[in-house]
Amino acid sequence: MSMAVERTTLVAAVTGFAVVLVLNLLLRRGARSTWPAVSGGLLIVLALLTAAVAGRWIRESQGPFLTLYDVLLSNLFSLTLVYLVAAWLVPALRRSSSIVVAFLGVLGIWSLTVSAVAVPLPATFDNPWLWLHVTAGKLFLGLCLPAAAAALWLLARRQNAEAEGGEMDAAVWLTLSLAFVCHSFMLIAGAIWAHSAWGRYWAWDSLETWTFITWLCIALLLHARVTFRRMPVTYGWSAVIAIFGLAVLTFLGVPFLSVAPHKGVM
């Protein structure tokens, strides 16, 4: 696949997010079931993203790890895939699909504004622990997105949350807990990869530091959820949204601003 075809495919995928969002909103106004249209549209978008990622991978003979464009493109694919699977397994997550699709659309528009020029991978990236590290990270962010979207949905409807949000609240904490497990494995796999690549497990560079802060915030929130049972539910939902914002800044911001070994373009 040429770069021109790849970009056209990405434009089609981003357009697909917009179409799905509009359909979702229109069907909701008509009090009709939205999930068949949303899931069908997202499956088409996922197919387009799969073609774009695979085409780039084959053309450049390397995984989408390094540049901001690579990271955005691969995360569009993984976030869409993880959300579809999560919403299939936990139907309550489908209610906040418009929030998820809107976020994916914004991420897609961002990907169209950055350079798509590939950069050769360093030799340190030729390591199986890197694959485990990156996969766990994408699963973490993919699970964190529906948790935050559901929390935002509950906050927006907080007056009726007790009556209709019990399943949604449970879905928030379930997906956040699974995200925490993936985040923990990401840290472990990343440390092993770092030792193989640079001879140290941890160096407190910018990305490592902010990743640990994100992990610590989730751990403290889950602990508070169990310990302080009288904590207002809105506090917990707000914290989940804040953690997702911190995760996005950590994954999509810090690596491309720092000068550490994690820097996006080395």
Instruction: Tell me the domain boundaries of the chain.
Output: 1-119, 122-266
Could you tell me what percent of the chain has a pLDDT over 90? Answer: 53
| Residue 33: other Cβ atoms inside 10 A | 11
CA atoms within 13 A on the CB side of 40: 8
| Residue 119 confidence class, pLDDT cut points 50, 70, 90 | confident
Could you tell me what percent of the chain has a pLDDT over 70? Answer: 91
d(CA 52, CA 56): 6
Tens of pLDDT, residue by residue over 2-11, are 888 889 999 9
Q: Is the pLDDT of residue 30 over 60?
A: no
Residues recorded for the chain:
266
Torsion angle defined by CA atoms of residues 173, 239, 150 and 90, in that order, rounded to the nearest 10 degrees = -20
pLDDT at 264: 43
| Residue 265 confidence class, pLDDT cut points 50, 70, 90 | very low
Global pTM reads 0.90
By the 8 A CB rule, do 149 and 96 touch?
yes
